[in-house]
Structure 1
Protein backbone atom coordinates (compact mmCIF):
# COMPACT_ATOMS: atom_id res chain seq x y z
CA UNK A 1 0.00 0.00 0.00
CA UNK A 2 1.42 3.37 -1.01
CA UNK A 3 0.28 6.55 0.66
CA UNK A 4 0.05 9.64 -1.50
CA UNK A 5 -0.27 12.80 0.63
CA UNK A 6 -3.51 14.67 0.09
CA UNK A 7 -2.79 18.07 -1.49
CA UNK A 8 -4.59 20.21 1.06
CA UNK A 9 -3.74 18.31 4.25
CA UNK A 10 -0.43 20.06 4.91
CA UNK A 11 1.33 16.70 5.19
CA UNK A 12 4.55 17.96 3.56
CA UNK A 13 5.17 20.30 6.52
CA UNK A 14 4.39 17.83 9.28
CA UNK A 15 6.91 16.38 11.65
CA UNK A 16 6.76 12.61 11.85
CA UNK A 17 6.14 11.15 15.28
CA UNK A 18 6.20 7.48 16.18
CA UNK A 19 3.45 5.72 18.09
CA UNK A 20 4.18 2.96 20.58
CA UNK A 21 1.06 1.30 22.02
CA UNK A 22 0.69 1.86 25.78
CA UNK A 23 3.95 3.87 25.76
CA UNK A 24 3.37 7.16 23.94
CA UNK A 25 3.57 9.30 20.81
CA UNK A 26 6.61 11.29 19.68
CA UNK A 27 8.24 12.85 22.75
CA UNK A 28 5.12 12.34 24.91
CA UNK A 29 4.94 9.30 27.20
CA UNK A 30 1.81 8.07 28.91
CA UNK A 31 1.93 8.71 32.66
CA UNK A 32 3.91 12.00 32.38
CA UNK A 33 3.09 14.87 34.73
CA UNK A 34 1.84 18.22 33.41
CA UNK A 35 5.33 19.68 33.89
CA UNK A 36 6.97 16.83 31.97
CA UNK A 37 4.44 17.21 29.11
CA UNK A 38 5.18 20.94 28.86
CA UNK A 39 8.93 20.24 28.80
CA UNK A 40 8.61 17.50 26.15
CA UNK A 41 6.27 19.67 24.06
CA UNK A 42 9.08 22.17 23.50
CA UNK A 43 10.11 19.95 20.56
CA UNK A 44 7.03 21.19 18.68
CA UNK A 45 6.36 24.63 20.13
CA UNK A 46 4.78 26.53 22.98
CA UNK A 47 2.46 24.89 25.51
CA UNK A 48 -0.55 26.38 27.29
CA UNK A 49 -2.01 24.57 30.33
CA UNK A 50 -5.64 24.83 31.44
CA UNK A 51 -7.82 22.88 33.84
CA UNK A 52 -10.59 20.74 32.35
CA UNK A 53 -14.09 20.98 33.83
CA UNK A 54 -15.03 17.88 35.84
CA UNK A 55 -17.99 16.38 33.99
CA UNK A 56 -17.74 13.02 35.77
CA UNK A 57 -17.02 12.67 39.49
CA UNK A 58 -15.33 9.30 38.94
CA UNK A 59 -12.35 10.99 37.22
CA UNK A 60 -9.66 12.87 39.14
CA UNK A 61 -8.87 16.50 38.20
CA UNK A 62 -7.55 16.77 34.66
CA UNK A 63 -5.48 19.33 32.78
CA UNK A 64 -5.34 20.06 29.08
CA UNK A 65 -2.01 21.04 27.51
CA UNK A 66 -2.43 22.72 24.11
CA UNK A 67 0.79 22.77 22.11
CA UNK A 68 1.04 25.37 19.34
CA UNK A 69 3.69 25.26 16.64
CA UNK A 70 6.63 27.56 17.15
CA UNK A 71 6.54 30.51 14.76
CA UNK A 72 3.19 29.58 13.24
CA UNK A 73 0.45 32.15 12.84
CA UNK A 74 -2.19 31.90 15.57
CA UNK A 75 -4.10 28.70 14.94
CA UNK A 76 -5.51 25.62 16.62
CA UNK A 77 -3.19 23.60 18.81
CA UNK A 78 -1.08 21.09 16.85
CA UNK A 79 -1.31 18.62 19.73
CA UNK A 80 -3.56 18.50 22.77
CA UNK A 81 -2.44 16.37 25.70
CA UNK A 82 -4.72 15.43 28.60
CA UNK A 83 -3.18 14.76 32.00
CA UNK A 84 -5.09 13.21 34.89
CA UNK A 85 -4.01 13.78 38.48
CA UNK A 86 -4.35 10.04 39.14
CA UNK A 87 -2.62 8.50 36.07
CA UNK A 88 -0.70 11.32 34.39
CA UNK A 89 -0.77 11.75 30.61
CA UNK A 90 -3.48 9.48 29.21
CA UNK A 91 -4.61 11.04 25.92
CA UNK A 92 -2.77 12.72 23.03
CA UNK A 93 -4.81 14.28 20.20
CA UNK A 94 -3.10 15.22 16.91
CA UNK A 95 -4.85 18.09 15.10
CA UNK A 96 -5.91 17.28 11.53
CA UNK A 97 -4.30 20.44 10.11
CA UNK A 98 -1.46 21.44 12.45
CA UNK A 99 -0.54 18.13 14.11
CA UNK A 100 2.48 15.95 13.46
CA UNK A 101 2.01 12.95 11.16
CA UNK A 102 1.70 9.73 13.12
CA UNK A 103 1.61 6.39 11.34
CA UNK A 104 0.40 3.01 12.47
CA UNK A 105 2.60 0.35 10.87
CA UNK A 106 2.98 2.53 7.76
CA UNK A 107 -0.65 3.74 7.71
CA UNK A 108 -0.73 7.59 8.06
CA UNK A 109 -3.44 8.57 10.55
CA UNK A 110 -3.41 12.38 10.83
CA UNK A 111 -5.20 14.86 8.56
CA UNK A 112 -6.59 12.30 6.13
CA UNK A 113 -9.98 12.55 4.45
CA UNK A 114 -11.96 10.01 6.42
CA UNK A 115 -13.19 8.13 3.33
CA UNK A 116 -9.62 7.76 2.00
CA UNK A 117 -8.37 6.66 5.41
CA UNK A 118 -11.14 4.06 5.55
CA UNK A 119 -10.13 2.66 2.15
CA UNK A 120 -6.47 2.49 3.20
CA UNK A 121 -7.42 0.93 6.57
CA UNK A 122 -9.42 -1.78 4.79
CA UNK A 123 -6.50 -2.47 2.41
CA UNK A 124 -4.11 -2.56 5.38
CA UNK A 125 -6.32 -5.03 7.27
CA UNK A 126 -6.78 -7.28 4.23
CA UNK A 127 -3.06 -7.29 3.36
CA UNK A 128 -2.08 -8.26 6.91
CA UNK A 129 -5.08 -10.47 7.67
CA UNK A 130 -5.96 -8.35 10.71
CA UNK A 131 -9.12 -6.55 11.80
CA UNK A 132 -9.94 -2.87 11.66
CA UNK A 133 -12.07 -0.95 14.12
CA UNK A 134 -14.97 1.45 13.58
CA UNK A 135 -15.93 4.11 16.11
CA UNK A 136 -19.59 4.69 16.98
CA UNK A 137 -19.51 7.61 14.49
CA UNK A 138 -18.42 5.19 11.74
CA UNK A 139 -14.75 6.21 11.44
CA UNK A 140 -12.37 3.39 10.48
CA UNK A 141 -8.93 2.89 11.95
CA UNK A 142 -6.50 0.28 13.24
CA UNK A 143 -7.78 -2.41 15.59
CA UNK A 144 -5.78 -1.05 18.51
CA UNK A 145 -7.57 -0.05 21.72
CA UNK A 146 -5.03 2.77 22.13
CA UNK A 147 -6.12 4.54 18.91
CA UNK A 148 -9.52 6.23 18.77
CA UNK A 149 -10.20 7.80 15.37
CA UNK A 150 -12.09 11.09 15.44
CA UNK A 151 -13.25 13.38 12.65
CA UNK A 152 -12.40 17.08 12.51
CA UNK A 153 -14.21 19.45 10.17
CA UNK A 154 -11.65 21.27 8.00
CA UNK A 155 -13.43 23.53 5.54
CA UNK A 156 -16.02 21.23 4.01
CA UNK A 157 -14.03 18.03 4.52
CA UNK A 158 -13.92 15.78 7.56
CA UNK A 159 -10.31 14.86 8.27
CA UNK A 160 -8.79 12.46 10.77
CA UNK A 161 -7.86 13.60 14.28
CA UNK A 162 -6.64 10.47 16.06
CA UNK A 163 -6.53 10.17 19.82
CA UNK A 164 -3.75 8.02 21.25
CA UNK A 165 -4.79 6.77 24.66
CA UNK A 166 -4.50 4.57 27.70
CA UNK A 167 -7.34 4.14 30.20
CA UNK A 168 -7.61 6.66 32.99
CA UNK A 169 -8.81 6.32 36.56
CA UNK A 170 -12.26 4.76 36.84
CA UNK A 171 -12.57 3.80 33.15
CA UNK A 172 -12.67 0.37 31.58
CA UNK A 173 -11.78 1.28 27.99
CA UNK A 174 -10.10 4.07 26.07
CA UNK A 175 -13.50 5.08 24.68
CA UNK A 176 -14.73 5.53 28.28
CA UNK A 177 -11.58 7.53 29.01
CA UNK A 178 -12.03 10.01 26.16
CA UNK A 179 -11.89 13.60 27.44
CA UNK A 180 -15.24 15.41 27.26
CA UNK A 181 -13.56 18.17 25.22
CA UNK A 182 -12.85 15.66 22.44
CA UNK A 183 -16.41 14.39 21.99
CA UNK A 184 -17.39 17.30 19.76
CA UNK A 185 -14.03 18.84 18.87
CA UNK A 186 -14.25 19.92 15.25
CA UNK A 187 -17.14 17.55 14.56
CA UNK A 188 -19.48 18.28 11.65
CA UNK A 189 -22.84 19.73 12.66
CA UNK A 190 -25.62 17.16 12.72
Structure 2
Protein backbone atom coordinates (compact mmCIF):
# COMPACT_ATOMS: atom_id res chain seq x y z
CA UNK A 1 0.00 0.00 0.00
CA UNK A 2 1.41 3.40 -0.94
CA UNK A 3 1.72 6.22 1.55
CA UNK A 4 -1.21 8.14 0.07
CA UNK A 5 -3.50 5.12 -0.18
CA UNK A 6 -3.11 4.30 3.51
CA UNK A 7 -4.65 7.71 4.30
CA UNK A 8 -7.74 6.90 2.22
CA UNK A 9 -8.47 3.48 3.70
CA UNK A 10 -11.75 3.27 5.60
CA UNK A 11 -11.91 0.61 8.31
CA UNK A 12 -14.73 -1.89 7.76
CA UNK A 13 -17.67 -1.39 10.10
CA UNK A 14 -17.19 -4.91 11.50
CA UNK A 15 -13.57 -4.06 12.42
CA UNK A 16 -14.40 -0.92 14.40
CA UNK A 17 -14.64 -0.97 18.16
CA UNK A 18 -18.26 -0.38 19.18
CA UNK A 19 -18.65 2.45 21.69
CA UNK A 20 -21.70 4.11 23.24
CA UNK A 21 -21.85 7.86 23.74
CA UNK A 22 -23.39 9.27 26.91
CA UNK A 23 -23.93 12.95 26.03
CA UNK A 24 -21.80 15.35 28.05
CA UNK A 25 -20.39 12.42 30.10
CA UNK A 26 -18.41 9.91 28.03
CA UNK A 27 -17.49 8.51 24.63
CA UNK A 28 -17.05 4.75 25.04
CA UNK A 29 -14.44 4.17 27.76
CA UNK A 30 -13.34 7.82 27.68
CA UNK A 31 -15.04 9.76 30.47
CA UNK A 32 -14.96 13.54 30.31
CA UNK A 33 -12.80 14.90 33.11
CA UNK A 34 -10.22 12.08 33.07
CA UNK A 35 -6.50 12.74 32.78
CA UNK A 36 -4.51 11.73 29.68
CA UNK A 37 -2.84 8.77 31.44
CA UNK A 38 -6.26 7.45 32.48
CA UNK A 39 -7.56 7.89 28.92
CA UNK A 40 -4.55 6.02 27.54
CA UNK A 41 -5.22 3.16 29.93
CA UNK A 42 -8.95 3.16 29.13
CA UNK A 43 -8.35 2.57 25.39
CA UNK A 44 -5.34 0.22 25.75
CA UNK A 45 -5.48 -2.76 23.42
CA UNK A 46 -7.46 -0.89 20.76
CA UNK A 47 -5.80 2.53 20.63
CA UNK A 48 -2.40 3.87 21.59
CA UNK A 49 -0.98 7.40 21.71
CA UNK A 50 0.39 8.44 18.33
CA UNK A 51 4.04 9.46 18.22
CA UNK A 52 4.56 13.23 17.94
CA UNK A 53 0.84 13.81 18.29
CA UNK A 54 0.68 16.41 21.04
CA UNK A 55 -0.39 19.96 20.17
CA UNK A 56 -0.92 22.98 22.39
CA UNK A 57 -3.62 25.63 21.93
CA UNK A 58 -3.21 27.95 24.91
CA UNK A 59 -4.55 26.01 27.91
CA UNK A 60 -5.87 23.23 25.67
CA UNK A 61 -3.69 20.26 24.74
CA UNK A 62 -4.62 17.65 22.14
CA UNK A 63 -3.36 14.08 21.90
CA UNK A 64 -4.01 11.77 18.96
CA UNK A 65 -4.65 8.06 19.42
CA UNK A 66 -3.95 5.57 16.63
CA UNK A 67 -5.20 2.04 16.06
CA UNK A 68 -2.95 -0.45 17.81
CA UNK A 69 -2.80 -2.96 14.94
CA UNK A 70 -3.26 -0.93 11.74
CA UNK A 71 -1.24 1.58 9.71
CA UNK A 72 -2.36 5.12 9.04
CA UNK A 73 -3.18 8.23 10.95
CA UNK A 74 -5.13 8.88 14.11
CA UNK A 75 -8.34 7.10 15.08
CA UNK A 76 -9.36 9.96 17.36
CA UNK A 77 -8.14 13.21 18.82
CA UNK A 78 -8.64 13.89 22.53
CA UNK A 79 -8.59 17.48 23.77
CA UNK A 80 -7.73 18.31 27.37
CA UNK A 81 -8.42 21.57 29.17
CA UNK A 82 -6.44 22.08 32.38
CA UNK A 83 -5.32 18.46 32.09
CA UNK A 84 -8.84 17.01 31.90
CA UNK A 85 -10.54 15.41 28.90
CA UNK A 86 -13.11 17.85 27.50
CA UNK A 87 -13.50 16.92 23.82
CA UNK A 88 -13.18 13.83 21.59
CA UNK A 89 -13.13 14.02 17.77
CA UNK A 90 -13.52 10.59 16.15
CA UNK A 91 -11.78 9.99 12.81
CA UNK A 92 -14.29 9.00 10.12
CA UNK A 93 -11.96 6.47 8.50
CA UNK A 94 -10.31 4.71 11.44
CA UNK A 95 -12.17 5.61 14.61
CA UNK A 96 -14.44 3.47 16.71
CA UNK A 97 -18.13 3.38 15.81
CA UNK A 98 -19.92 5.54 18.36
CA UNK A 99 -23.68 5.21 18.82
CA UNK A 100 -26.43 7.15 20.54
CA UNK A 101 -29.51 5.02 21.20
CA UNK A 102 -28.45 2.78 18.30
CA UNK A 103 -27.83 5.69 15.90
CA UNK A 104 -24.40 5.19 14.28
CA UNK A 105 -22.48 8.50 14.20
CA UNK A 106 -19.05 7.70 12.69
CA UNK A 107 -18.06 7.12 9.07
CA UNK A 108 -21.49 7.72 7.57
CA UNK A 109 -22.60 9.71 4.55
CA UNK A 110 -23.19 13.14 6.15
CA UNK A 111 -26.59 13.78 4.51
CA UNK A 112 -27.93 10.41 5.69
CA UNK A 113 -26.67 10.97 9.23
CA UNK A 114 -28.04 14.51 9.22
CA UNK A 115 -31.54 13.26 8.31
CA UNK A 116 -31.44 10.63 11.05
CA UNK A 117 -30.04 13.14 13.56
CA UNK A 118 -32.75 15.69 12.75
CA UNK A 119 -35.34 13.02 13.50
CA UNK A 120 -33.55 12.05 16.73
CA UNK A 121 -33.19 15.62 18.03
CA UNK A 122 -36.77 16.51 17.10
CA UNK A 123 -38.15 13.40 18.79
CA UNK A 124 -36.09 13.93 21.95
CA UNK A 125 -36.60 17.70 22.30
CA UNK A 126 -33.11 18.93 21.42
CA UNK A 127 -32.51 22.05 19.37
CA UNK A 128 -30.48 21.31 16.24
CA UNK A 129 -28.21 24.12 15.08
CA UNK A 130 -25.84 24.64 12.18
CA UNK A 131 -22.40 26.19 12.47
CA UNK A 132 -20.68 28.46 9.95
CA UNK A 133 -19.35 25.40 8.08
CA UNK A 134 -22.90 23.97 7.81
CA UNK A 135 -22.11 21.27 10.38
CA UNK A 136 -25.20 20.20 12.34
CA UNK A 137 -24.97 19.86 16.09
CA UNK A 138 -26.66 20.48 19.37
CA UNK A 139 -25.40 22.15 22.51
CA UNK A 140 -27.82 20.24 24.74
CA UNK A 141 -26.12 16.98 23.77
CA UNK A 142 -22.66 18.46 23.19
CA UNK A 143 -21.91 17.30 19.66
CA UNK A 144 -21.02 18.68 16.24
CA UNK A 145 -21.33 16.33 13.26
CA UNK A 146 -18.39 17.31 11.06
CA UNK A 147 -17.43 15.89 7.66
CA UNK A 148 -14.06 14.41 6.73
CA UNK A 149 -12.65 13.38 3.36
CA UNK A 150 -11.69 9.79 2.62
CA UNK A 151 -10.24 10.09 -0.87
CA UNK A 152 -13.18 11.07 -3.08
CA UNK A 153 -15.76 10.29 -0.39
CA UNK A 154 -16.94 12.41 2.55
CA UNK A 155 -17.84 10.71 5.85
CA UNK A 156 -19.06 11.85 9.26
CA UNK A 157 -16.53 12.88 11.94
CA UNK A 158 -18.37 13.64 15.18
CA UNK A 159 -16.87 15.98 17.75
CA UNK A 160 -18.15 15.30 21.28
CA UNK A 161 -17.72 17.77 24.14
CA UNK A 162 -18.07 17.80 27.91
CA UNK A 163 -20.69 19.92 29.65
CA UNK A 164 -18.15 22.72 30.22
CA UNK A 165 -17.59 23.08 26.47
CA UNK A 166 -21.17 22.49 25.27
CA UNK A 167 -22.27 26.13 25.31
CA UNK A 168 -21.76 27.50 21.78
CA UNK A 169 -19.96 24.31 20.65
CA UNK A 170 -21.67 24.45 17.25
CA UNK A 171 -20.75 28.09 16.67
CA UNK A 172 -17.10 27.88 15.57
CA UNK A 173 -15.88 31.44 16.36
CA UNK A 174 -17.24 31.24 19.92
CA UNK A 175 -16.61 27.56 20.57
CA UNK A 176 -13.94 26.38 23.00
CA UNK A 177 -12.98 23.65 20.51
CA UNK A 178 -9.54 24.62 19.12
CA UNK A 179 -9.55 26.21 15.66
CA UNK A 180 -7.40 23.35 14.37
CA UNK A 181 -10.43 21.04 14.52
CA UNK A 182 -12.17 23.26 11.96
CA UNK A 183 -9.19 24.25 9.82
CA UNK A 184 -6.74 21.32 9.73
CA UNK A 185 -7.07 18.49 7.23
CA UNK A 186 -7.85 15.35 9.21
CA UNK A 187 -6.30 12.28 7.79
- Which of the five TM-score ranges fits, normalised by the shorter chain? 0.7 to 0.9
**Corresponding residue for residue 17 of structure 2:** 15
**Corresponding residue for residue 75 of structure 1:** 72
Q: Which moved more, 1:27-36 or 1:127-136?
A: 127-136
**Corresponding residue for residue 56 of structure 2:** 53
Cα RMSD, aligned residues only: 2.7
Shift of 1:117: 1.2
Distance 1:172 1:144 in 2: 8
Check the 8 A contact 1:152/1:161 in 2, yes or no.
Answer: yes
Q: Given the two structures, how large is their TM-score scaled by the length of structure 2?
A: 0.78
Distance 2:119 2:163 in 1: 29
**Corresponding residue for residue 101 of structure 2:** 105
> What is the number of residues matched between the two proteins?
172
Please, which of 159, 170, 184 is the counterpart of residue 163 of structure 1? Answer: 159
Check the 8 A contact 1:167/1:174 in 2, yes or no.
Answer: no
Q: Tell me which protein shows more strand as a share of its residues.
A: 2
Check the 8 A contact 1:168/1:177 in 2, yes or no.
Answer: no
Q: Given the two structures, how large is their TM-score scaled by the length of structure 1?
A: 0.77
Shift of 1:127: 5.2
The answer to whether structure 1 residue 64 and structure 2 residue 62 are counterparts is yes
Structure 1: segments with no counterpart, 5+ residues: 1-7
The 4+ residue runs of structure 1 with deviation greater than 6 A are none
- Secondary structure, counterpart of 2:185 in structure 1: coil
Shift of 1:102: 0.8
The superposition leaves residues 70-129 of structure 1 with CA deviations (integer Å, 9 ceiling, x where unpaired) of 111x21211111112x26100111110101111122221101111111222234345556
